[in-house]
Structure 1
Amino acid sequence: MNVLNFIQAFFSDGSHWHGYDGIPTRVAEHIQYSLQALAIAAAIGLPIGLVTGHYGRGGNTLALVATGSRSLPTFGLLVLMVTWLGFGLTPVMIPLVVLAIPPVLVTTYEAVRSVDPSPVDAARGMGMHESRILFQVELPGALPLILGGLRSAAIQIVSTATIAAYVGLGGLGRYIIDGLYQRNYEKVVGGATLVALMALVTIGVFWAISRITVSPGVRRSG
């Protein structure tokens, strides 16, 4: 059987749409893991990126941190966390968050630094507080790039959250891991297809968010 036949067989099998191992359940679990990891990475990366970008300090340090984080093997970090913390959701969240912080952090820093300095200088000349300058002047102009960083992080998380299945959790990785163990390649291909589709949906979601949140003037200038 070729890949298309595997995909058709997987999605046409009614047993894959019901129960604890059904596609809706596994998709919901995968979304839950992905959203949790993205929320934690954003809570860490966005504030640091905004503040350092606003003051223009720490760029080299951020680049070194991002490079170091990206060089860490995700699966190796998962094994280390399981050895240290035991099984559960926390050992899965740590490598996913470590994977997602660099694109959020570095892109946010660069986005703020790339804002046109003219309105920033004008706001500062009018006596606006630094926090107001950041959130009312710089953030709207930096938002498209910031969303781009969040989108990159989200896609990486969605693609990598399959590692949860290695420690007995759910998600779409369950199809891939169980399928390989059972030599059920229909399930493996189906799980991989669902992960790819979720990554595409993630791109569409961030496109919609960008259309809603970014002002038309900023989009045109971009």
Structure 2
Amino acid sequence: MNVLHFINAFFSDGSHWHGYDGIPRRLLEHVEYSLMALGMAMAIALPIGLYTGHTGRGGNTLSFIAAAARALPSYGLLVLTAVVIGIGLAPAMIPLVALAVPPILVTTYEAVRTVDPAPVDAARGMGMHPAKVLFQVELPVALPLILSGLRSAAIQVVSTASIAAYVGLGGLGRFVLDGLYQRNYEKVVGGATLIAGLALLTIGVFWLIGRLAVSPGVRRG
């Protein structure tokens, strides 16, 4: 039996579309976990990245921390936090946030640091407050690169949020984990297809955000 057969069998089975273990509920749980992790990562990484990029301070330290965080294995961190904290939402969020912070942090820092210094110097020469220089001059120009970091983090989180199933939570990873346990490969392939489809949808969402949020002049540049 090929993969396409498994996909067709999974999605054509009406029992997979209803109830506690149905696709709509699991999809909603997966999106909820992903948004929570991405939101927490943004709350940590964006302010630090904007500040360090604006001031030029701490760039080397930032790169070291980001490299160290990238080296952490998500599944290993999940197991460790589950042993220390116990089963629940927190052990799932910690590795997902740790996964999302580095790309947001590094790209935000680099985006602000690479803004053309001419308009920044002109704004400072006019006596603009440093916060206004950051948010009215640097941020609009840096926004495309910042969004690329957010997109990268979001895709990684969506693709990895399936690990929540290993600590007793739901999400699309439930199909993969339960399918492996039951040797139901139709469910495994169906769950993996849904995760891949959600990752592709995430790319589309960020493309739309970029079209709406980024100035046409900056986008053309």
Q: Does 1:3 align with 2:3?
A: yes
What is the aligned partner in structure 2 of residue 18 from structure 1? 18
Q: CA deviation at 1:60?
A: 1.0
Q: Which runs of 5+ in 1 are unaligned?
A: none
2:154 partner letter: A
1:86 partner letter: G
* Cα-to-partner distance string for 1:114-169 (whole Å, 9 max, x where unaligned): 11110000000000000000000000000000000000000000000000000110
- Superposed CA RMSD in Å reads 0.4
What is the aligned partner in structure 2 of residue 113 from structure 1? 113
Q: Does 1:149 align with 2:149?
A: yes
* Cα-to-partner distance string for 1:19-44 (whole Å, 9 max, x where unaligned): 01000000000000000000000000
Task: Give the TM-score normalised by structure 2.
Answer: 0.99
1:66 partner letter: A
What is the aligned partner in structure 2 of residue 74 from structure 1? 74
* Cα-to-partner distance string for 1:27-81 (whole Å, 9 max, x where unaligned): 0000000000000000000000000000111111111111100111111100110
* Cα-to-partner distance string for 1:77-125 (whole Å, 9 max, x where unaligned): 0011011111110110000000000000000000001111100000000
Over the matched positions of the two proteins, sequence identity in percent amounts to: 75
Q: Which runs of 5+ in 2 are unaligned?
A: none
Task: Give the TM-score normalised by structure 1.
Answer: 0.99
- SS of match in other structure, 1:72: coil
What is the aligned partner in structure 1 of residue 37 from structure 2? 37
2:19 partner letter: G
- SS of match in other structure, 2:19: coil
Q: CA deviation at 1:18?
A: 0.3
Divergent runs of 4+, >4 A:
none
How many positions carry a matched residue from both structures? Answer: 221
What is the aligned partner in structure 2 of residue 160 from structure 1? 160
* Cα-to-partner distance string for 1:171-197 (whole Å, 9 max, x where unaligned): 000000000000000000000000000
CA distance in 2, matches of 1:122, 1:60: 27
CA distance in 1, matches of 2:179, 2:129: 57
What is the aligned partner in structure 1 of residue 217 from structure 2? 217
CA distance in 1, matches of 2:59, 2:187: 45
